[in-house]
Amino acid sequence: MNPRLLPYVLILPVTLFLCLFFLYPFVLVAQQAFSNGSGFTMSNFRDVTEHWKFPISLKNTFLLALAVVPIQLALSLLMATMVTKMKKGRDLILYVWTIPLGISDLAAGIIWLAIFEQSGFLNSMMGGLGLIDSPTNFLSYTSPVMVFVAIMLAEIWRATAIMLVILVAGIGLIPKEYYEAGEVFGATPWQRFLKITLPMLRPSLQTALVLRVILAFEVFAVVQALGGTLFPVLMGETYAYQFELLNGGAAAAIALIILAISITFTLIIMRALRVPKGATI
Amino acid sequence: MAVIEIKNVAKRFGEYQALHDINLTIADQEFMVLLGASGCGKSTLLRIICGLETATEGEIWIGGKRVDHLAPKDRGISMVFQNYAVFPHLTVFENIGFGLRMQKMSNDDVKRRVERTAGLMHIEQLLTRYSGELSGGQRQRVAVARALAMEPDVILMDEPLSNLDALLRMEMRAELKGVLAESNTTAIYVTHDQVEAMSMADRISVMHEGKIVQAASPIEVYRNPAAEFVAGFIGNPPMNFLEATPQGGGKFSVAGHSFDGPSAANSNLQFAIRPEDMTLAENGFPAVAKVVEPLGAHLLVTCELDGKLFRAILDSEMQVKPGETLKLAPVKDRIRWFDPETTLAVA
């Protein structure tokens, strides 16, 4: 076989698969979003954006992403640095920390619901310690902050590991000699982190952040389990349009809006963390 | 001004003893080369002086100050790494200025120092480039410039030229020696390349199995090896050895010939001679040529003598064929003697 063709032949199956199960449905969804059965229209977009719940769910989605992702970034960097420094038991710790990765997001939501609900662990523990007289309902409409905090905690618990894994791999690729050079030339551990680890980790940070931010805009099951209708988010609205209001066109329109937001943020992150021209990392 | 004193330094990695009781004083502005095969402990010793590794026992003094409890940056040293460790995410300018920035030096001062050291290493035109855009030799220059920019008392180099090709290595060798001599720093240079060591060093410390076997000037190490190991390590090809048995009265029998040896010794010794110190003479050792290698400048003949391989370097004009018997005689005052018990030189 012509060696110049071989690479293309090798990626052909995957390309076909993606076209069939991703690109084609995507075109269908786009079609659905921009049509009302007779021709091109923006009415689906108008309908969903003019609905009173849209600004709230948009705000909630952004708020949650804004609250969760920076904490996860800091946490995963800290955890990755710690794991890298470990000599023994490193793999074990990494396995334990990545357990939440193996749990579906709905299951994660339910686990945290079991903690926060009125008959949950938190209430019985506080009751057992004599801190409260009677169980309180943390997740009610009277305590929106508590609902938000519960969702935040669940999201951080559930989805920090994906960033951690990427960053651990990235840090492992940085040659030790750079740190030794940093030490010899007077960089403190904190300076070595800022001046060597972070810049050299840029490609991994890009991947981790893009992945995490996209997932944050698609947040659904955890919110559904803990907040229900108290905390509407964009993906929840998509679900509601599709399966409760049976309005496929509107659901497709919201899905495309989420996609647009995701693409925008991906581009922003790629640009912000780009490697300077000429530098090779 | 920085004299370096290494006092009773030992290093153990678990069961493995990497360094045994090292004692070495390096004079101010001296160029000291630590020479040895890989695994002899030379890099470990350098890393201990640098502070990247801590000694299990012993003390390091630099400029009259005990430093073994200090961080590398407080020792007045800087270092050139084997793989350069030029930061790929910084420009050449920022690489050279890295240590100065860490000292919070003002922008103007950083600029002045970086430009001056870049000038010394002839890389002024590369200051805005990134390391990925440089050749190996240029990266090497950046690494040296970065070390010099610190204006250290001591500059440590860990096989800095080993990643360069042969021609470039020769060029850099001379240049590096010149630059370091001008910078008035004390230098410790680790290498396994004896040509590098011979050509650059004021003094060479030959290391073997975690010990310093000999610390002396290159010519002394070459002419008067302190131990069999040094004699067999330095020189390409190294010294030849033959068995010597005492005949009394300071005379020794070597392959059927009698030589004046150390008068005090009265046991079997090793007779040692450099290949280039052999001449053709009627009363020489009969040696059967096995391999003849014309090397241009001279002729390297590997012979069999007294049941052992024996190398001689002869004039390139000589016509020698394998199988021919040569009469080889040593230059008398170049003969060295070693005690097989202690492996040390006997005079």
* Structural domains of chain B sorted by starting position, each given as residue range(s) with its CATH number in brackets: 4-233 (3.40.50.300), 240-346 (2.40.50.140)
Q: What percent of chain A has pLDDT over 70?
A: 100
Query: Nearest CB to A185: which of B78, B82, B89?
Result: B78
Look up the ipTM and state it.
0.86
Contacts of A183 in chain B (CB under 8 A): 51-52, 71-73
As a whole number of angstroms, the distance between CA A12 and CA B126 comes to: 44
Which chain A positions have a beta carbon within 8 Å of B75's beta carbon? none
Q: Which residue has the tokens 């004009």?
A: B317
**Chain A closest-CA separation from residue B21 CA (Å):** 25
Mean pLDDT, all residues of chain B: 92
Residue numbers in B near A176 (CB within 8 A): none
| Alpha-helical segments (H) within chain B | 42-50, 92-96, 98-102, 107-120, 136-149, 166-183, 194-200, 218-223, 228-233
The answer to whether A62 contacts chain B (CB < 8 Å) is: no
Is the predicted pLDDT of residue B51 greater than 90, yes or no? yes
Q: Please, which residues have CB within 8 angstroms of residue A5's CB and are 6 or more apart in sequence?
A: none
A197 to chain B: which residues are within 8 Å by CB?
none
Cα angle A108-A110-A116, degrees, rounded to a multiple of 5: 110
Judged by CB atoms closer than 8 Å, whether chains meet at A184 and B72 is answered as yes
In the predicted model, what is the mean pLDDT of chain A? 89
Which residue do the tokens 């946490």 mark? A75
Stated as kind and residue range, the H or E segment containing A191 is: helix A189-192
Nearest beta carbon to residue B85 from set A181, A186, A202: A181
pLDDT per position as a tens digit, A5-46: 999 999 999 999 999 999 999 998 888 888 877 778 888 888
Q: Which domains does chain A have, with CATH numbers?
A: 23-272 (1.10.3720.10)
A192/chain B closest Cα distance in angstroms: 10
- Say whether pLDDT at A134 is over 90: no
Q: How confident is the model at residue B1 (pLDDT cuts 50, 70, 90)?
A: low
| Predicted confidence band of residue A125 (pLDDT cuts 50, 70, 90) | confident
CA atoms within 13 Å, Cβ hemisphere of B251:
7
pLDDT bracket for residue A198 (50, 70, 90): very high
Residue whose entry in the numeric block shows the structure tokens 């290698």: B293
Residue B334 and residue B273 in contact, taking contact as beta carbons nearer than 8 Å: yes
**Distance of alpha carbon B91 from alpha carbon B128, whole angstroms:** 6
**Tens digits of per-residue pLDDT, B154-188?**
999 999 988 888 888 888 898 889 888 888 899 99
Q: Which two tokens stand for residue B112?
A: 């002045």
- For A207-239, give one letter per residue: b (16+ CB within 10 A) or e: bbbbbbbbbbbbbbbbbbbbbeebbbbbbbbbb
Rounded CA-CA distance A182/B255 in Å is: 59
For chain B, what percent of residues have pLDDT higher than 70?
100
Any chain B CB within 8 A of the CB of A173? no
Q: Is B105 on the interface with A (CB under 8 A)?
A: no
Cβ distance of A184 and B131 shorter than 8 Å:
no
